Amino acid sequence: MRKVALILVIVIVTFSCKKNDDTALTPVSVSFNFTQNWDGSNIQNSDFENTLYLNAFGTQQTISKLVYLISDITFTDAAGTIYDAGDFNLVNARQETNLSFTPNIQVPPGDYLISFTFGFDDEDNIDGAYPELNQTAEGPWGVPAALGGGYHYMRLEGKYNNTMGTNVGYAYHAIRANDMSMTPLLLEDTSFVVNLGQVAVSNNTNVEIKMNVAEWFKNPNTWDLNTLFASLMPNFEAQKMISENGAERVFTLGAVTQ
């Protein structure tokens, strides 16, 4: 009886392991949910143009537009195997479009380090390569050839109260940095990679990516809208500062649901 029982246990364990291995090899999709907040306070649709936010410099500002591009969501497993969909998503927070996104790739269930690129890196930031980005409700997303071509990373706009107490519009636009004083035009890739950390992936996994808008004006460069409120696209140093602030802690991993 002991011998029969032992054989039965071996058969059961073997069958269970085979079943689990088969499940582990079945690729799954992972969806992402993009949310926006100001230092932890969720930005709702009703907040646009209405809610006054106090930035790190001490200036009050509103938000009227927040549109941003993310690309190359990448999954890296413990063995160093990389899964990269190579696609992109244009989020329009106010219009509530593309707040949910499922990359065009499936990965085996398991633990992954997840990262993405804010904007397009130079390899992908090819002028005219994505005509659909110039046919959105947002309007043309391309960058003029005089500024190096390619595509915007972000358009963040609103109004701020200047030192005279006047409401003034600002356009905090992120693109590839360009130095127009140089011939030929000097370009610097100011996209950046965001590492969200490790996420356990299984069937129906949903990952929240949180953007803290306040951080665009905070770290490591405390942003003074009184001097840097417009014409930022041809401003080489301003674009590098925007990139530095974005890479610091604008994006963080939020809730992960299975």
Q: Tell me the pLDDT tens digit for each residue of 132-179.
A: 999 988 889 999 999 999 999 999 999 999 999 999 999 999 999 999
Tell me the pLDDT tens digit for each residue of 88-134: 999 999 999 999 999 999 999 999 999 999 999 999 999 999 999 99
Q: What residue numbers bound the domain in which 220 lies?
A: 28-257
CA distance 119 to 1: 67
Let me know if residue 23 belongs to a domain.
Answer: no
Let me know if residue 1 belongs to a domain.
Answer: no
The per-residue pLDDT of the chain, averaged, comes to 92
pLDDT value of residue 138? 85
Let me know if residue 208 belongs to a domain.
Answer: yes
Residues 6+ apart with CB under 8 A from 37: 43, 210, 211, 212, 213
* Residue 97 DSSP one-character state: B
CA distance 153 to 163: 29
pLDDT value of residue 136? 87
pLDDT value of residue 246? 98
182 three-state secondary structure: coil
pLDDT value of residue 30? 98
Tell me the pLDDT tens digit for each residue of 192-251: 999 999 999 999 999 999 999 999 999 999 999 999 999 999 999 999 999 999 999 999
Q: Tell me which of 106 and 15 has the higher pLDDT.
A: 106
pLDDT value of residue 137? 81
Please count the structural domains in the chain.
1
86 band by pLDDT with thresholds 50, 70 and 90: very high
Tell me the pLDDT tens digit for each residue of 38-80: 999 999 999 999 999 999 999 999 999 999 999 999 999 999 9
Let me know if residue 126 belongs to a domain.
Answer: yes
Place of tokens 């990389």: 82
Let me know if residue 9 belongs to a domain.
Answer: no
- Taking a C-beta distance cutoff of 8 angstroms, is the pair 250, 191 a contact? no
92 bridge partner residues: 67, 97
Let me know if residue 40 belongs to a domain.
Answer: yes
CA distance 77 to 199: 10
Length of the chain: 258
pLDDT value of residue 229? 98
pLDDT value of residue 171? 98
Let me know if residue 71 belongs to a domain.
Answer: yes
- Taking a C-beta distance cutoff of 8 angstroms, is the pair 61, 52 a contact? yes
Let me know if residue 92 belongs to a domain.
Answer: yes
